[in-house]
Structure 1
Amino acid sequence: MMKRKAEKQQSAGPVSAIAARKARQQQAQTVTASKVEVVVEAAAEPPSKRPRRSLEGDQLTGTNGTESKGRQTRSSKNQEVPIALDTTTGRPKRATQANPSETPSHAPEAEEESENEDSDENIVDGPEEMNEDEVASVAGDADGYESPTETPIEMQNFPLSKARLNKNSIVYADESVLCIRIKEKTNLALMGQYDLWVKRGVVSLMGAKLPPSPRVYRVYAPSTHSLPIIKCVSGVDGEAEVQIKSCNSGLSRLRDVSPLYQKIWNGQNTAADKATLKGASKNSRRSFSVLYSSGEDPLKRHLRPLHLDKKWSASMKALSQRQGSLRVLVCGPKASGKSTFSRYLLNHVLSPAPETENGFTNTDGVAFLDLDPGQPEFAPMGQVYLAHLRAPFFGPPFTHPSLDSRDGKILRAHHIGATSPKEDSDHYALATMDLLDQYHSLLAQYPQCPLIVNYPGWIFGQGLEVATWLVKCLGLSDVVYMSEKGPQEVVEPLRFAANEARVPMTILPSQPTDFVSRSSAQLRSMQIQSYFHSSHSTDISNPIWSETPLSRTRPMAVDYAGSKQGILGIMVMGSQISPDMLREVLEGAVVGLVAIESSSAITGASSSGSIKAPVDNSEDESESTADHMDMDSEEPQVKSLDSLSPADSIVRTPEGLPYLFTGSGSCTPLNPKASNCLGLALIRSVDVNSQKIELSTPVPSSHIREAIEQGHSLMLVRGQLDSPNWAVSEEYYAARAAERRYQQVVARAKKGGESAADQTQHNQTLALLRDRIRRASNVPWMKVVEDNSRHQREANARREKSLWKLRKKAYPGSDSEADW
């Protein structure tokens, strides 16, 4: 060995030792790279999950998990690391990993915290074929979508349930109902949608302890978030008995209008489902599935149970001891689990079982002050609000995008017009103080109503100043910070503010999720699309969803000028827009529908009196603003802007739009003390001839009628929310879904034998459906791209950086929605 080494050194001649070593390393890397490439070509099956990565650099991670310079890619926790090159030896190496069989059944797994400040993530998701957890990407799109990597990740058979169903544990079962017994200290994981009824014993679910009662709870368990676990806390003879029933809310049908909703619910029947469906028809399927492990998932997704850290559980129990005096602020870095902790704490405080807790029963509900406009829990993005909740909620935010039932209502909301409060921190602080005043008013009626404040991940710079200010002035009982890793420049000012206010501060470990199937921007898109497709019925407590594209629904027509004017004016926040460009800015935009309670809401107007103009007695009393919004409704009329002073700077655009134009074009935000956001609306068009604005909004007409009857006027506020690209492509995906369904009908007819007349009818119908797809693909701001290769997507992204208006891309031949 020494001789060979000497010979090599001698043969090197005048070459230095450092140069020789570099040459050997490069040669070894070249040989190893070719070997690895052969292995990758053999593994042609695409992965079922892709972890996030950034495309900002020039080096793209290859399908074998190695970069162009042989650096090892990042890997998720408890997961096999892809093959990488050892730059010191030139040989492939594999990182050590714990045995999957030794993995605990409940790993700390919190839902993805979809925080606001992701403007630096300039990437869009969308694969050629969209598995539930698999999303490709394009760099350079303006929507800021995060990009999962293309590195294959080995699937793990992760345990989900400790309980196993058998003849003794199944009380009864049919095609839609499953009644089971769960032993103490065991649990069961389900995926899908279902109604849960606790018949005996006490079970825990997402922080709530549910004792026996006639109450039925709706549970949503999609694969986009960690699965909720039903656990038996205490029972009769050591067992709890629960009934699980299928439900049909319509939420799963949103897959027909957006691929983001595809493959997120239960698939084919699992082994446990088949065991409980014996005797039922062959094609029976419930809206939920029982899973013992992630390996049993028919769609092979990365599923994990939703589990809390022990410190989280202890903190929640300690906070609940405060009972009606609880006033807690939950803050911390983004993606640290703040939303998960707030949701768990909310459910825990709302439903303590008297026999297992301190005897306190919450009868006044819980006030939830949501200060995260990026992805609020119970409202669409761009809002901060105060909600009064009377019952726990089980599901991610897009399953309850609004509140209007006996279980919860939004008492007051303010339209921030952005997904981050940093756009206008002063307006954000004023809105927060107004919501706090509303909470004090709520205490007059419900004196034992606790308060939970959810603060966004905006904790650096000015965000830290706002957070410390809130700690000092909100009158809190506790502060919870969701990261043990600091940073100290954030923790120390918060601790100092808490000490100054004599408020205890608790620091908890963060629980970020390792597997993410939807980015923050995608979750926001899912939530706002769910919001516009949802509705609340007066006779049921749970919302229902419609899969009808917004373009096929009847719009609300609002007069923006003339004697029957239905809106007070139009505002644009955060931008300087010329009056000549207002129409272009409004069409296709999401705006806030704000009720103006007095003239003091608008800067420069008189602080006294109402801004509602006197109603002309010559008009029929049955005519109203809402009458011109919707021809079938009858509400009092709001007419003009004549009562406003000239200082309001309301100008008329060339189209006659009432534009609240001040200074160089930007608008001063409305005063939160005299305004209230009713919800969001999508402006479909501005008709200059009839001087009407066509709106689509899920805001109930009763809320609009109530605001007008109280003498309030309506204002449309255009902010800086994400562009509603999902609305542009809904008709296209709905047309494709209709064609697929009809092709299945034709296929079944051919198997059963069809006549020539039936075949002719089928061909004619298919021709009509394909013509619908063609017409839906030929619309403004959307381009159907046949070539969805990575090279083509990156080229399109670079080209579209120079476009003033974005175009939505849709891909035929795949179930994906790519390149937003």
Structure 2
Amino acid sequence: MVKRKAEKQQAAAPMSAVAARRARQQQAQNVSTTKGEAEVEIMTEPPSKKTRRSLDGDEPKKAECADIRVSRTSSSKKQDAPVPAETAKGRSKGSTRANQSDDAPPISEPQALDEQQEGSDEDQVGGPEDMSEDEVASIAGDADGYESPADTPAELQNFPLSKARLNKSKVVYADEGALCVRIKEKMNLALVGQYDLWVKRGVVSLMGAKLRPSSKVYRVYAPSTHSLPVIKCVSGVDGEAEVEFKSCNNGLARLRDASPLYQRIWNGQNTDADKIAIKGAAENWRRSFSVLYTSADDSMKRHLRPLHLDKKWSASMKALSQRQGRLRVLVCGPKASGKSTFCRYLLNHVLSPAPETENGYLNTDGVAFLDLDPGQPEFAPMGQVYLAHLKAPFFGPPFTHPSLDDSRDGHILRAHHIGATSPKEDPDHYAVATMNLLDQYRTLLAIYPQCPLIVNYPGWIFGQGLEVATWLIGCLGLSDVVYMSEKGPAEVVEPLNVAANAARVPMTILPSQPTEFVSRSSAQLRSMQIQSYFHLSHQAGLSNPQWSETPLSRTRPTAVEYAGEKQGIAGVVVMGSQINPNMLREVIEGAIVAVVEVESPRAFLGSSSSAERLSREDEQYGTGADDDVEMGSNESATKGTLASIEDGSVIRTPENLPYLFAGFGSCTPLDPKSSNCLGLALVRSVDTASQKLELSTPISSSRLYNAIEQGHRIVLVRGQLDNPNWAISEEYHAARAAERQYQQSVSRLRKNEDSLSGDDLVKHNQTMAVLRERIRRAGNVPWMTVVEDNSRRRREEAARREKSLWKLRKKAYPGSESETDW
């Protein structure tokens, strides 16, 4: 009775999602208080944010899972939490939790693995040998801000994705690697995966860009971590557009072997639309993309949604693009309001190769993109602000284009390392870096006078962030300001409006468009982006980048001398942390640093005299002439003195590392006017015997040689970025993946033979022994603990061990009591 009444009320008039949820909650309360009534099942909406899962949950029964926990801490003294690992065999086949997200990264409940792995053994591109039941990893608790998957309804909503339906009359041709179709006007098509798009006839729209017939092929990335891009026919010949989709193999999908965050994000098994007009294909053929009509077509049963722009967004983009070369727009707003999505669509819209006859304007100067969000940059790894000059649209999330080195479609003109994911750590340095990038844009205008400017401001919009935003509005010479929230707050909107009126700049307020279902948290997306950055390579002769799934520990590092006649590193800068020079090796070894070229000695701003710095160090740490801190050149090092080099002064540590030390226990940031960030590097080790640093970096050697030939010096900057836990666990995930793939290959051979022969059995046992030894060694590395038993007792034991390791790393200076506090 109560349920029918509630249904009638809901059907009487439309209501919002919040009102519907409240009605269902009230319905549940009424049913629980009514005696004798049948129990009513209440369906709740999935939360927009993922809830964090506690370690004190129900203990799984008969489950043995591998759980990697990284215990290393950064110099900023933030404790690292667990990172994912592969699950071990022997998991329970018991009841499953139906409310677990299907597109979520690995989970910690082994009971849910059966449902999540069902149909996923062959869901990845490349054939069934790439995945197995052991593919799913587990996350216990909160790892570096990683959030556990959100609880979702038991029954997935069958959400429409494509309006167009393919049949044999709409398919021009199809084979195992390509699909050419006709799309009627005002109809659209959604695909998941990776593909090359070639428009042969008509005009189609994709992620804000209007693509016309040409010989150019566009690379499109459509993972399930973001809303799927929709291909819509704008106009065509005889009312239809003809488009070809072609499979691509660039190695990005194989990163799932190095990190569980990359698992289950591309296309799965072939859909009915994929099989149209395919005859005589191989049994295990698979394209790198799949056509989806609804979310129910997805073999992995993920929460897939198409990305449709709000009408106000579309109208605003059209109005902004009409300003042509005079466009100077600042996009700002609160966090998770859709700023990056709006900038990406606006960028593609302005870069669309529109014919000159349409509006009398042909964009030949490209677009300048000033990215001021160091937490989630679009074309660079985290921790940087930069100015990029782009000449072609980009289709994909940031981790599909983490760098623009040697790219034909665009390049970064200048970048500065902020050293953190938020500007609030050092607002002054952030403002100076922003002004330098604006000067670089004015220089660009001398070459490309009709180059528009799009500025992406971070979600740091309160307090000092609001002051910086209003200051930028007054000094940027903008043409427009876009604020991405109709809900205010008033204390933010009013100052922005006042600043815009004072600068005589129109301000547009648009509704926010957050993602309803989130399968990766912001921290996880940052981890995916920086891991993609380190595995990326721009090969000569190829227009698109390539990725390698080989763990960084198995790649050959770059050895750079930090002392001696062939010294390649002028110094090391540590931002935001007060450390003793004796701890410099501890701080940089195994950490991510920025590689910065110093163009002149003026880059070392605020450096006081040698006597002042030495006295401050003595006062800060109590060091004197008798302390074991070696300062000076590597030949005539003297205690208590500073050694001068060509572009500044350094302190030599006991390992002879050149420490650019200034201020009260921390380093002054480099002056943006005289420095430029080339990229990031991972310091794998400090070899004190040969006095060399072993670095892993995707920076091309040509850029480094070019900087050295110009007489610039190379400086490493250690900021407050997240620790590279993904790099520590890569070898373990790769070893487990190699074992799975070998076992699957053996199982395929056994299908044809009842048992292995004697010699084959011996080889099989030897290979398995080698693989298991590799897994054992990969799991037995410093700062990482592999927990095979995922029971509550084992998790608590691992947590206690992490706590003890954290106290061990918590030393403030050599000889302190905390150094031996176990």
What's the TM-score, normalizing by structure 1? 0.79
Alpha-carbon distance in 2 for matches of 1:173, 1:663: 66
Q: Counterpart of 1:320 in structure 2: which amino acid? A: S
Q: CA deviation at 1:52?
A: 3.3
Consecutive unaligned residues of structure 1, counting only runs of 5 or more, are 1-24, 64-118, 608-639, 808-820
Q: CA deviation at 1:135?
A: 4.9
Alpha-carbon distance in 1 for matches of 2:317, 2:59: 44
SS in 2 for 1:679: strand
- State the partner residue of 2:428: 426
CA contact (8 A) 1:50 1:135 kept: no
Indicate how the Cα distance of structure 1 residues 540 and 28 shifts in structure 2: closer, same or farther if over 3 A, else same: closer
Aligned pair partner of 1:783 in 779, 782, 785: 785
- State the partner residue of 2:760: 758
SS in 2 for 1:729: helix
- State the partner residue of 2:362: 361
CA contact (8 A) 1:365 1:450 kept: yes
Alpha-carbon distance in 2 for matches of 1:323, 1:233: 22
Q: CA deviation at 1:567?
A: 0.7
Alpha-carbon distance in 1 for matches of 2:717, 2:435: 21
Cα shift readout 1:591-610 (whole Å, capped 9, x = no counterpart): 00000000000025799xxx
CA contact (8 A) 1:128 1:788 kept: no
Alpha-carbon distance in 1 for matches of 2:792, 2:319: 51
CA contact (8 A) 1:169 1:182 kept: yes
Indicate how the Cα distance of structure 1 residues 423 and 606 shifts in structure 2: closer, same or farther if over 3 A, else same: closer
- State the partner residue of 2:695: 695
Q: How does 1:19-34 map to 2 (within 5 A)?
A: none
Indicate how the Cα distance of structure 1 residues 458 and 26 shifts in structure 2: closer, same or farther if over 3 A, else same: closer
CA contact (8 A) 2:86 2:736 kept: no
- State the partner residue of 1:531: 533
Alpha-carbon distance in 1 for matches of 2:266, 2:442: 41
- State the partner residue of 1:145: 146
Count of residues paired in the alignment: 688
CA contact (8 A) 2:51 2:151 kept: no
Indicate how the Cα distance of structure 1 residues 192 and 128 shifts in structure 2: closer, same or farther if over 3 A, else same: same
Alpha-carbon distance in 1 for matches of 2:727, 2:261: 13
Alpha-carbon distance in 1 for matches of 2:200, 2:773: 53
Alpha-carbon distance in 2 for matches of 1:209, 1:357: 12
- State the partner residue of 2:298: 297
- State the partner residue of 1:559: 561
CA contact (8 A) 1:201 1:235 kept: yes
SS in 1 for 2:766: helix
Q: CA deviation at 1:787?
A: 2.8
Cα shift readout 1:369-411 (whole Å, capped 9, x = no counterpart): 0000001000000000000000000000000000021101000
Aligned pair partner of 1:476 in 475, 478, 484: 478
Indicate how the Cα distance of structure 1 residues 796 and 509 shifts in structure 2: closer, same or farther if over 3 A, else same: farther
Consecutive unaligned residues of structure 2, counting only runs of 5 or more, are 1-27, 61-76, 88-100, 109-138, 610-641, 810-822
Matched, 1:132 2:134: no
Alpha-carbon distance in 1 for matches of 2:313, 2:152: 33
Q: Counterpart of 1:210 in structure 2: which amino acid? A: L
Q: CA deviation at 1:757?
A: 1.1
- State the partner residue of 2:576: 574
CA contact (8 A) 1:591 1:681 kept: yes
- State the partner residue of 1:414: 416
CA contact (8 A) 2:271 2:297 kept: yes
Indicate how the Cα distance of structure 1 residues 445 and 182 shifts in structure 2: closer, same or farther if over 3 A, else same: same
- State the partner residue of 2:205: 204
Q: How does 1:693-772 map to 2 (within 5 A)?
A: 693-753=693-753, 754-772=756-774
- Which has the higher mean CA deviation after the structures are superposed, 125-134 or 485-494? 125-134
Alpha-carbon distance in 2 for matches of 1:62, 1:749: 38
Alpha-carbon distance in 2 for matches of 1:319, 1:120: 43
SS in 1 for 2:385: strand
- State the partner residue of 1:435: 437
Q: CA deviation at 1:228?
A: 0.5
Q: How does 1:618-657 map to 2 (within 5 A)?
A: 642-644=644-646, 648-657=648-657
Q: CA deviation at 1:794?
A: 6.6
Q: How does 1:600-615 map to 2 (within 5 A)?
A: 600-603=602-605
Alpha-carbon distance in 2 for matches of 1:246, 1:32: 60
Indicate how the Cα distance of structure 1 residues 806 and 326 shifts in structure 2: closer, same or farther if over 3 A, else same: farther
SS in 2 for 1:780: coil
Indicate how the Cα distance of structure 1 residues 59 and 154 shifts in structure 2: closer, same or farther if over 3 A, else same: farther
Alpha-carbon distance in 2 for matches of 1:515, 1:460: 26
Aligned pair partner of 1:541 in 540, 543, 563: 543
Cα shift readout 1:159-217 (whole Å, capped 9, x = no counterpart): 00000111111001111011100000000000100000000000000000000000000
Aligned pair partner of 1:52 in 44, 49, 72: 49
Alpha-carbon distance in 1 for matches of 2:403, 2:458: 19
Alpha-carbon distance in 2 for matches of 1:304, 1:27: 34
- State the partner residue of 2:268: 267
CA contact (8 A) 2:48 2:515 kept: no
Provide the alpha-carbon RMSD of the alignment: 3.2
Q: CA deviation at 1:793?
A: 4.4
Matched, 1:503 2:505: yes
Alpha-carbon distance in 2 for matches of 1:397, 1:347: 14
What's the TM-score, normalizing by structure 2? 0.79
Indicate how the Cα distance of structure 1 residues 437 and 641 shifts in structure 2: closer, same or farther if over 3 A, else same: farther
Indicate how the Cα distance of structure 1 residues 501 and 651 shifts in structure 2: closer, same or farther if over 3 A, else same: same
SS in 2 for 1:417: coil
SS in 2 for 1:800: helix
Alpha-carbon distance in 1 for matches of 2:796, 2:198: 50
Q: CA deviation at 1:224?
A: 0.4
Indicate how the Cα distance of structure 1 residues 234 and 33 shifts in structure 2: closer, same or farther if over 3 A, else same: farther
Alpha-carbon distance in 2 for matches of 1:538, 1:430: 36
Alpha-carbon distance in 2 for matches of 1:56, 1:120: 20
Alpha-carbon distance in 2 for matches of 1:34, 1:579: 73
Matched, 1:370 2:371: yes
CA contact (8 A) 1:142 1:801 kept: no
SS in 1 for 2:466: helix
CA contact (8 A) 1:201 1:212 kept: yes
